[in-house]
Every structure is written in structure tokens, then in C-alpha cells.
Amino acid sequence: SGQDSLSELNQQLQQHPSILPVDFDITNCGDLVLNVPPPVDIYDTAFDREYHQNNHEFEDQRVPVAKLSHSSSGDTSSPQITSPSLAPEDVALPPITTPTYALEFQKAIEASSQGRDVLTVQLFKPDGSSLGFSVVGLRSEEKGELGIFVQEIQPAGIAGRETPMEPFLYTDLTNMLTSVMRRFVKKEVLEKEYVMKIDIFKNENIVSASKVDLGYITRDAIRKVDDVTQKQILGFRQSCLYCLQVFCSKLLSNSPLKYKLTKAITFCDPTLIVSSKDKNILRIRATLEVFVQNNQLSGGEADKIERDFIDFCSKLEVIEKMKAYSRKNERLDHFWKNIIFTYDGSDELMSFLKKVFILSHGNASVERGFSVNKECTIENQSEESLIAQRLVWAGIQSAGGVDKIKITKSMIHATRNARSKYVEAQEQKKNENDVKKKAENERKRAAKFKKELEEKKRRLMEEAQKEAQLLDDQIRSLATT
């Protein structure tokens, strides 16, 4: 029945959170039809034979993998910790043990999860810097922590910078993807192909599980673990390979790199201007092309901006300033404003750069703790959006801060139903526009009809006046005879 199909679908979603709407369907009879892509065969059988012959080769690369339980009920004794389930079914994976601290941490995680899925996220940050954000979650006396609902970015960290960051997005994302792919993608493939075009699930493009770069920390942990078979090591390596593939796949499918403008707006990165002038010209042309196609600029304006930009960036003084630019010490928008003012850049170029800098306000102050100031001018938002942001900010201020807000059921429901409410609002606005358009068309038709009647009246009055004049002439002629 349909109810059984929905229950089964819910179980599948718990086991496979990456299932998309296109991966399943419910027939007219109520049967669930799944079309989940099969897992990639990443088990290298040739390597399995090889490491049996050369057992000593991987003695320093053994590591256990702790699998967290989905329930806190049951035996509270030492939990079984097994290697990943992604290993081939025919490989026997006996339980292994971990140090006491890991067991205590395991129990704490199980107790707090209360049967819910546990997701571990590892964050990376530069030395000496803070990631700079905190989160606010909902705590229930009966159910414990129910999840994160509000994120507050702290002003002193990386995430709290107000400077426009989108011109660096393409470079940073490409470097990050390349760094991750370097662990499992063949070197010649990385050197030959653009990262967005590499098929990371194609066996010809990736190294075998035995050659996956696990990193120094992992290799050091492997050396310190005893009583682990080579098959467990292989299973762990295969799981690492699969995790890296899925991680990169998610980045590739959801990354802004797939948009043309992400790469194009790097033209205003001073480092790129200095290192490759020809490449930079191609990118500003691509940006102007997108702006013209979306009616943000006319063709004539785009031509002038391109000439102004090329001429301006050819000045020796400007080139020297760009060589001295430091992304860590100076805001990009301030840098461009200062050099354009100092070295007589055109107003059209400055206006165009302003539009580029406000394309994404992901680090704008309105999205960092909901504060409102003059650091970011939002030129492309409607009055309703600005009013809504101000209302949110005022509500948080009146509550005494983001950590003082009481998360109610209605707020949770509103968040969950935000998309449907947005679609409903769009439909309502469309209907209102249709009504206004219909009324406007009626008004125009009425005005046209009125004008026709007035014209007809004028003609009739002119004809009547002529006839009256003719009659008057006849009367005068009769009176004189």
C-alpha cells in the first residue's frame, strides 16, 4: 500500500541520505520503485593478492574504524567497533578494540544521539586564526538536543570578515578541490584535465586503494594500532577512497564553480592581473557578456568598460600597487576605490566594480549576527527584502541577542515550510500582477473607447454645426427676398 511504500522510503532515506527525488517513484498501485545508482567497485582484487604476498609492506598503515551505534539502548559495555561497511561482503572484519578514552567518547555520543544518526564534521583553519562562529540549538527536557537552528558569526574570525570575497571564490574552491583530489586522482589526470571535468568515479582516473594518500596523522595512528588484519586495512583504505569520491562529488555538484560568473569575476583579483594579463582580459569579457545578456549593461557601456579596464591596468603605477596588494591586510573594494580615485579611473569602471562586489553578500553584515550598518550597500534588493531584514534584526535585538531567542514549534514549522511559503508567495504575487495587468488592460480599453466616443462626438458636433450654419444661411437668404 501507499503507507507501506512511504515507510519503506523513510527507511531507505535513513540508510541513504543522498537519495534524490529522481531516484525513486511511487506507482499508481502504491508500490515504491527505487533507482539508486549502484556503489562503485573500488575493491582492488589484484591488490588483495599482492598484499598477501608482501605482508610486511603495510605494517605501518593499520588503523581501526569506530562505527557509531544508531541507538543508545542495549548493553552499556564496551561496544563493538568494526571496520566500515563499505568493504566487500566477502571480507571478514572481526571486531577490534580502541583505547579507554575512545570508548568513553563512544558511549557519550551514543547517549546524546538517542537513536538519531550521528554525523562527524572536521573543520580546518589556518594557524593562528579562528573560524569565528558559534551555533544555537534547541534543547528539549524530554528529547535533548534537537539540532542547530541559528548560526552566529563572531566578528574576529575568518567567517566574520566584511570584505567582498566572491572574486577569490573560484581560486580558493579550485585549490581546495585539487588538494583533495590529489589524494586519490592520478597525477597525470590532474595535470591534464580541469577539476570540474574529471570523472572521479572512473577507475582509469583514480589510483588503487593501496595508493590513496591517507595523510601523516592517519599513517601515524595506523602504526600505533595492533591486532588488525591486512584485509581490515584494505577495507579502511577503500572506505577512505569512497569517502573522498563522495566528498568531491558533492562539492562538484553543489559548488558555485559550475557557474560561469564564478570564474569570470576573478578578473578583479590583483594577483591574477599581475600574473596573467591575457587570461584576465578573457575573464572580464566573460563577465561583461553575462551582464549584457542579463540587461545589466548595454553593449556600448560594456565596450567602454572593457577599454577603460585594460587601459587602467596597463599603467605602471597601478601595476606596482597591484603587486603590493595583500588580501589579508586590505579589503578588495577599498583597494579598487583608492587606486581608481588616485590614478584617474573612469566612473563607469567604478560603477561596474560596485555591481560585481555586491553580486554575493554572503559575508555582508546583514548575514552576520543580523547587525545593520553601512558597511554594505545592497543595491539589488527589493523594498520588501530590506524591510524583512530590518524586522529580523529588530526582533533579535528586542530579545536581547541571538542566544536569548526561544525556539518555538511555530518557528520550526515556519523554517521547514519556508520553501512552500516562498512558492505560495510567488504564486500570490503572480496572481496579483495578473489582476493588476488585467485591470490596466481594461483601463486602456476603456480609455481607447472613450477617446473614440469623444472623436465621434466631435465629428457629429462639427457636422451638426455645419448643417446649422447652412440652415442659418438659408434663413437669411429667405429674409432678404
Which pLDDT value is given to residue 116?
Answer: 66
What stretches in the chain show pLDDT beneath 70?
1-3, 5-6, 10, 12-25, 28-30, 34-106, 108-110, 112-162, 360-381, 481
Residue whose C-alpha is closest to residue 64's, from 35, 93, 25: 93
Report the percent of the chain where pLDDT is more than 90: 19
Owner of C-alpha cell 529580523: 392
Which grid coordinates are listed for 417? 515550510
Q: Is 195 left (phi over 0), alpha (psi -120 to 50) or beta?
A: alpha
In terms of pTM, does the model score above 0.75?
no
Which pLDDT value is given to residue 288?
Answer: 94
Which pLDDT value is given to residue 216?
Answer: 86
Look up residue 40 and give its DSSP letter.
P
Please report, for the chain, how many H helices and E strands are present, in that order.
17, 4
Which pLDDT value is given to residue 380?
Answer: 56
Which pLDDT value is given to residue 112?
Answer: 65
Q: Is-contact 170 266, C-beta < 8 A?
A: yes
Which pLDDT value is given to residue 264?
Answer: 92
Who's near 74: CB < 8 A, 6+ residues apart?
none
Which pLDDT value is given to residue 156?
Answer: 54
Which pLDDT value is given to residue 309?
Answer: 93
d(CA 216, CA 230): 19
d(CA 307, CA 164): 24
> Residue 235 carries which side chain, given as an amino acid letter?
G
